[in-house]
Amino acid sequence: MKKLISAKAVEALGKQGQKVICIDKDTIITPSAKDVAAEYGIEFKSGTYEASGTCTENKACCTNDGGIDREVIYNAVKALVEKGMLGSLLSKLGEDVAYVSEGDANLKLVRGNTAKWEVLDTGNPADKVFYNELVTANDGSKMNAGFITIEKCEFPWECACQELYYVIEGTLTIESNGKVYTGHSGDCFFFQNGAKLKFGSPDKVKAFYATH
């Protein structure tokens, strides 16, 4: 509920010797009330009255580059909730995050179930090949690592570096020099730099890879 502060009310407080009047976001101060406050040297402060009658100023939650009022944040979030927009906003923010990770200067822990899958361009848009890269040069690493899935398709692949694949589930087929090698869960492939291969899976395979 809005609260109006009039010139008469300010004058009465001024005669009592009061120098501070507490206000909040719902307070409306009339122009004449401001003039009277100036005459009596009364200051308007955002805060609440304590039992002693003194005004305790509401402190803002500050950052190094300025101040952010908790109440402003609360009202903004409340408005989003009331309009049913908070969920879509959080989802949109989540789309820009490749994965959730934590750690320090010594390690990086990636939550695999948060990783976003990207399409691997094999040259054939019908191929169902996806990957998510979790370790890169941005981590100060000399190798890249992540996960890949291949579903019922084959595609040519030329290694531009040394590559290692650990089959987590499903079947991974690799053709090299006309011979097909088949890997199952628990099996591991290593490829030399420059190897010309054909990747594939008769079902759906998920593998962890590392390249160097």
Q: What is the mean pLDDT of each run of 10 residues along the chain (212 residues)?
A: 75 87 82 86 77 54 51 69 62 61 84 85 94 89 94 95 97 98 98 96 97 93
Distance CA(38)–CA(40), nearest Å, equals 5
Q: What residue segments make up the domains of the chain, in order of their start?
A: 3-58, 62-96, 108-211
Phi/psi of residue 17, nearest 5 degrees: 85, 10
Concatenating the DSSP letter of every residue in 171-188 gives: -EEEEETTEEEEE-TT-E
Enter the CATH code of domain 108-211.
Answer: 2.60.120.10
Going from the C-alpha of 102 to that of each of 17, 111, 136, the distances in angstroms are: 56, 8, 15
Within 10 Å of residue 89's Cβ, how many Cβ atoms? 11
In the chain, DSSP finds a helix count (H) and a strand count (E) of 4, 17
* 168/153 Cα distance (integer angstroms): 18
pLDDT at 16: 86
Tell me the Ramachandran region of residue 73: left when phi exceeds 0, alpha when psi lies from -120 to 50, beta otherwise: alpha
Q: How many CA atoms lie within 13 A of 159 on its CB side?
A: 22
The pLDDT of residue 31 is 79
Report pLDDT for 26: 73
pTM exceeds cut of 0.85: no
Which tens digits make up the pLDDT trace of 105-148?
Answer: 888 888 878 888 899 999 999 999 999 998 888 888 999 999 99
Task: Please give the Cα distance from 203 to 38 (Å, whole number).
Answer: 81
What percent of the chain has a predicted confidence (pLDDT) above 90? 41
What's residue 196's pLDDT? 96
Q: How far apart are CA 69 and CA 78, in angstroms?
A: 14
* pLDDT value at residue 32: 80
What's the pLDDT score for residue 177? 96
